[in-house]
Amino acid sequence: MTASDSPIASLMMAAKMPDGLRETYGCLVDEVVELNARWMVFKQLYASGDERIKLFNTTAPALFSMVHDSMRDGIFMSINRLADPLRDRQGNENLTLSRLIDYLQQPDNQSLLTRLKDLLQAIERESTPLRAWRNRRGGHNDLRTSVQYEVHPLPAIKFDSVEDVLRLTAEILNLVRTHFGYERTDFSAVIMLGDGDSIVRCLERAQHDRDS
Tell me the Cα Rg of the chain. 20
Q: Is the pLDDT of residue 178 over 50?
A: yes
108/8 Cα distance (integer angstroms): 29
Are 166 and 183 a contacting pair, CB within 8 Å? no
pTM, 2 dp? 0.87
pLDDT of residue 91: 87
Domain ranges of the chain: 7-211
pLDDT of residue 36: 96
Q: Is the pLDDT of residue 206 over 70?
A: yes
163/43 Cα distance (integer angstroms): 11
Residue 89 binned pLDDT confidence (cut-offs 50, 70, 90)? confident
201/205 Cα distance (integer angstroms): 6
